Amino acid sequence: MIYLDNGATSFHKPPEVLRAVQEALRTCANPGRGSHRPAMAAAERIYDCREAASRLFGCLPEQVVLTTSGTHGLNMAIRTLVRPGDPVVISGFEHNAVTRPLHALGAQVTVAGRKLFSPEDTLEQMEDALRKRPKALICTHVSNVFGYILPVEQIGWLCRHYGVPWILDAAQSAGSLPLAQADFVAMPGHKGLLGPQGTGLLLCTRPPEPLLYGGTGSASLPPTMPEDLPDRGEAGTLNVPGYAGLTEGLRYLHRTGIHGMARRQQQEVRRAAAGLERLGFTVFSGPCQLGTLSFLPHGDCEEAATKLARKGIALRAGLHCAPLAHESAGTLDTGTLRISYGHDACPSQTQALLTAARVLL
Ligand code: PLP
């Protein structure tokens, strides 16, 4: 099988990730819940994960709140900055993990920047919206549908200039691109960071408002959650085997370096775009694009994905949990077929895709 669904989750994890999960299950108890050896081993695995994340992202270990997914971190960050009815700015390419929490809060949402692959439009529209001093700006770094890389350095600069707090959704960029410094940066552990499902990270410049209340293994007496990072965001028993695996994913990325990763994915996306266009499909590609590409087959997307799956190509069809991005690009009615490359992106994957795609002609 050629796995081109890394936008959903990475599938071929480095072997050390698998070994670490198994080792943690064998040796670890509950972190911070005892001074016996298995509890201490668990605490060490958890600290290792914060430390590996802090090295990769250039923050302090205590600024790393361990979450269960990208969605978990985004909800926590949004609940910290946004109150019911608050004005908020988002890009035109957000995932439901951003739009649904805002909808649930009844936030007044301004969508700024809907032109695909146009950093100029994104920045112009966002600056206009920031002049009205919203309570927060929330945006994805890379569109999970189209691979569009938003100009996050400049967005960060604008947010600081207008004094507006910023949440960055790094779900599709962490592990492939350097991240910008936002008030909160949320990311899954199971996509580009190569960890297991059920893991995520929220990088925090200040303690978040808890989503969950409960035991943290620290300061048990008060009825309130601890005030400090990272405990304020981490109630309940942590997924120790998951974070032990994630640590190895983070170390792998630190060792191999992420620049080569982005370059390889971009090369394959360009190759795939050219090949799919040659076959006569409508392809969404542009200058600032990472390892994800959407295209339209001649018929129904779901049927096309099933045909390609039978040919051994794993990709995704539909709206990809991001109807807003499709609305921006004009593909809400059809959805798209999406390929998304991972850390193992290589020409033979693209060649196999292009050969199999003939079944759609
Ligand atoms: N944001 C974007 C852009 C995503 O692509 C995803 C997942 O696909 C998420 C948020 C949510 O991440 P998770 O599935 O880990 O909750």
Q: pLDDT tens string for the chain (361 positions)?
A: 999 999 999 999 999 999 999 999 999 999 988 889 999 999 999 999 999 999 999 999 999 999 999 999 999 999 999 999 999 999 999 999 999 999 999 999 999 999 999 999 999 999 999 999 999 999 999 999 999 999 999 999 999 999 999 999 999 999 999 999 999 999 999 999 999 999 999 999 999 999 999 999 888 999 999 999 999 999 999 999 999 999 999 999 999 999 899 999 999 999 999 999 999 999 999 999 999 999 999 999 999 999 999 999 999 999 999 999 999 999 999 999 999 999 999 999 999 999 999 999 9
Nearest ligand 1 atom to the CA of 94 is 3
For a pocket test of ligand 1, which of 95, 146, 167, 190 has the largest count of ligand atoms closer than 8 A to its C-beta? 95
The β-bridge relationship of strands 313-314 and 292-296 is unpaired
Integer CA distances (angstroms), 181 to 54, 59, 154, 159, in order: 13, 10, 11, 11
CATH fold of the domain at 2-11+257-360: Aspartate Aminotransferase, domain 1 (3.90.1150)
Ligand 1 centroid vs 161 CA: distance in angstroms? 28
Can you give the C-alpha Rg of the chain in angstroms?
Answer: 21
User: Using CA positions, which residue lies closest to atom 13 of ligand 1?
Assistant: 70
Q: Where do the CATH 3.90.1150.10 domains begin and end in the chain?
A: 2-11+257-360
Q: In the block, which residue shows the tokens 């990325």?
A: 253
290: its two tokens: 């990472």
Question: What token pair was written down for 103?
Answer: 């909808």
Tell me, in angstroms, the distance from the centre of ligand 1 to residue 355's CA. Answer: 30
Given CA atoms 191, 196, 202, 208 in this order, what sign does their dihedral have? positive
**CA 72 to ligand 1 centroid distance, Å:** 10
- Domain 15-256 falls in which CATH fold? Aspartate Aminotransferase; domain 2 (3.40.640)
Q: Where in the chain is the domain with CATH 3.40.640.10?
A: 15-256
Distance CA 167, CA 177 (A): 17
Residues in contact with ligand 1 by the CB-under-6-Å rule are 69-71, 95, 97, 140, 144, 169, 171-172, 188, 200
